[in-house]
Amino acid sequence: MTRTFSDTHGFARADVTLATWRTAPYNVWAFQNLRDLVPTAEITCAKVEPEEAIAPDSIVDAPIDPGIDGISKVGDFLRHAHTDGLVVMRSGKIVGEYYAPHADVNRPHVIFSVSKSLTALISGILEGQGVIDPDKPVSAYIPEAAGSAYGDATYRDVLDMRVSLDFEEAYLDPNGAFARYRRATLWNPRDPGLPNETLPDFLLSLKKADRPHGGKFTYLSPNSDMLGMLLERITGVRFAELMSELLWKPLGARNNGYVTVDAVGSPRTAGGINVTTRDLARVGELLRQGGAIGGRQIVKPAWIADMTQNGDRQAWIDGGSQLLANGRYRSKWYQTGEADGSYCGIGIHGQWLWVDPSTETVIATVSSQLIPINDAMEKDTISFFRAIGRLAL
Residues acting as catalytic residues: 113
Single-letter residue type at 268 = R
The answer to whether the CB of 118 falls within 8 A of the CB of 132 is no
CA–CA gap between residue 43 and residue 47 (Å, rounded): 12
Q: Which of 275, 288, 306 is nearest to 389 (CA)?
A: 288
In SS3 terms, the chain reads as: CCCCHHHHHCCCHHHCCCCCCCCCCCHHHHCCCHHHCCCEEEECCCCCCCCCCCCCHHHHCCEEEEEECCEEEHHHHHHHCCEEEEEEEECCEEEEEEECCCCCCCCCEECCCHHHHHHHHHHHHHHHCCCCCCCCEHHHHCHHHHHCCCCCCEHHHHHCCCCCCCCCCCCCCCCCHHHHHHHHCCCCCCCCCCCCCCHHHHHHHCCCCCCCCCCCCCCCCHHHHHHHHHHHHHHCCCHHHHHHHHHHHHHCCCCCEEEEECCCCCECCCCCEEECHHHHHHHHHHHHCCCEECCEECCCHHHHHHHHHCCCHHHHHHHCCCCCCCCEEECCEEECCCCCCCEEEEECCCEEEEEECCCCEEEEEEECCCCCCCHHHHHHHHHHHHHHHHCCC
